[in-house]
Structure 1
Amino acid sequence: MKQKLKIKHVLYLVPIGLFLAIWEIAGQVAQTPLFPSFSKVVVEFGSLLSNGILLKSLGASFGRVLIGYILGSLAGLTVGILMGVNKVVEHSLRPLISILFPIPTLGWLPLLMLWIGINEALPVVLIFICAFFPVAYNTLTGIKEVKGEYIKAARTLGASSWYILWHVILPMASPNIFTGLRLEAGMVWRTVIAAEMFAIPTGIGALLMNSESLIRVDVIMVCLVVLSLMCTFFERMFLWLENRTTGAWR
């Protein structure tokens, strides 16, 4: 078992090591600011950390992501549950959600810029939209996949509707719910970066655009690495929560 884990770790790390080595060699050979080596990017990463620019930009983006994602997820869960347990609500809202869901999140950006203006609310609303529709849809799908005999059995044993919702329906629908939450955990970071690049003067996206205007490719690469790490962290966090809550019986 331990041997298999070691082999798995090696297979996981070797491609990353090769990629970084090729990047370093190519950067050293190129000797151009347009393609800095990995070591130069690491030095710039440390410099941006020490002068506080990176942490300030990341903090601004993180705050927007957190507010928009929490509000969007809660709203999506609420609407998804209401649609899943009430056919009248489902028939009323499902056509509207089916129409709006396929619209790319960034497709709302020009309209929201006119409605809301260029301010802190703009990226938060975009992230809200990004999280709301997938979470609502996956919650509804998960509830619909719960077998009716389990609900009937609970009712036969005298369980109330509220008890059935919390102890039968939601636990059995939780794999789908967590899938929606996990998939959007990374997508919201892509959304906030795009919103900041186009409309907001602060955050990782704004730092990216400022670096492009100054031809600071090393800073651009630092921002991209940070974005990748944050997307991975959010997705892994929800994968861990999913395994903790549903892994034993899923």
Structure 2
Amino acid sequence: MKMQVLSRFLWKVGPVLVFIAFWELIARCGIVTTASLFPPFSAVIEEVYILFLNGLMAQGLLSTLVRVVAGLFAGSLSGIAVGIFMGWKEAAGRSLAPIISILYPIPALGWLPLLMIWVGINETLPMAIITISSFFPVCYSTSAGIRNVDRTMIKAAHILGASDRRILLEVVLPNAAPHLFAGLKLSSGMAWRTVIASEMVAIPTGIGALMMKAESLVRVDVIMSCLVVLSVMCLLFERLFAVMEKRWTGRWSNNVGN
């Protein structure tokens, strides 16, 4: 048992460690370019520590995090609501699906010029873009998950006298949960990418703005430090949704067992 756990751990961590070692080796040997343009991993981590110590990274990360959480919450909540409506009501699905199909392929940043006119260059701008970028993946995944639920289970619940509301909450949604959380995970990654791009273009605060300031000073180490922090944050959000999915499905299994 311990060997299996160790093996899974090595398969997850091993490739990352090899990548970091390769990065450090190339940078130290100056194979690609000078250390100032391609700093080693150890120097990047040291810069992360310095940026948190002087408050620049913490301040920027907090601003970005607030925007991501607010936009992701609004986009995901509305996406789940519309997705449930489309998946549960066949007529609604047929009516709204063409509209979603038209708007979904538009890149999130494609809305930026229009939103800059509509809401102005302020805190609402990145949150609005994140809301849009989060809405479509969650909506599409939720509706697809509901449509893919085995209709035999729904018919059986009807025969047993369950109401539509109870069937939706206790049969359909739990079985659609993998699709729903897949959409949430996808949306969280898109939210971080979108907010950084919007901060680079239009917002003077946040991680994206810090990266642009570093670019003007040719501080590659600062830029890479921001990228490392962003990577960690994306990973944490993904793990958060994975834990939420596990608890949701586990609780549903227990309710079914009882």
Report the identity percentage: 52
Output the CA distance in 1 between the equivalents of 2:216 and 2:164: 59
Output the CA distance in 2 between the equivalents of 1:23 and 1:133: 36
Runs of at least 5 residues in structure 2 that lack an aligned partner in the other structure? 254-258
CA contact (8 A) 1:187 1:231 kept: no
Give the drift of 1:126.
Answer: 0.8
Show the counterpart of 1:109.
112
Output the CA distance in 2 between the equivalents of 1:143 and 1:18: 41
Runs of at least 5 residues in structure 1 that lack an aligned partner in the other structure? none
Give the drift of 1:194.
Answer: 0.7
Show the counterpart of 2:209.
206
Output the CA distance in 2 between the equivalents of 1:88 and 1:153: 23
Output the CA distance in 1 between the equivalents of 2:100 and 2:10: 45
Output the CA distance in 2 between the equivalents of 1:14 and 1:152: 48
RMSD: 1.7
CA contact (8 A) 1:81 1:140 kept: yes
Output the CA distance in 1 between the equivalents of 2:133 and 2:175: 25
The number of residues matched between the two structures is: 249
Output the CA distance in 1 between the equivalents of 2:65 and 2:214: 20
Matches within 5 A, 1:214-233: 214-233=217-236
Output the CA distance in 2 between the equivalents of 1:188 and 1:241: 18
Q: Does 1:129 align with 2:132?
A: yes
Give the drift of 1:61.
Answer: 0.4
CA contact (8 A) 1:84 1:90 kept: yes
> Could you say if the C-alpha distance between residues 39 and 96 of structure 1 is closer, same or farther in structure 2, counting changes exceeding 3 Å?
same
Give the drift of 1:106.
Answer: 1.4
Show the counterpart of 2:36.
33
Show the counterpart of 2:92.
89
Q: Could you give the per-residue CA deviations for residues 26-83 of structure 1, whole angstroms, max 9, x where no partner exists?
A: 3333353212222222221111111111010000000000000001011001111111
Q: Which moved more, 1:50-59 or 1:153-162?
A: 153-162
Output the CA distance in 2 between the equivalents of 1:235 and 1:12: 15
Q: Could you give the per-residue CA deviations for residues 150-172 of structure 1, whole angstroms, max 9, x where no partner exists?
A: 22222222211211111111111
Aligned-partner residue type, residue 7 of structure 1 = S
Q: Which moved more, 1:60-69 or 1:180-189?
A: 180-189
Output the CA distance in 2 between the equivalents of 1:159 and 1:12: 44
**Secondary structure at 1:218's aligned position in 2?**
helix
> Could you say if the C-alpha distance between residues 168 and 204 of structure 1 is closer, same or farther in structure 2, counting changes exceeding 3 Å?
same
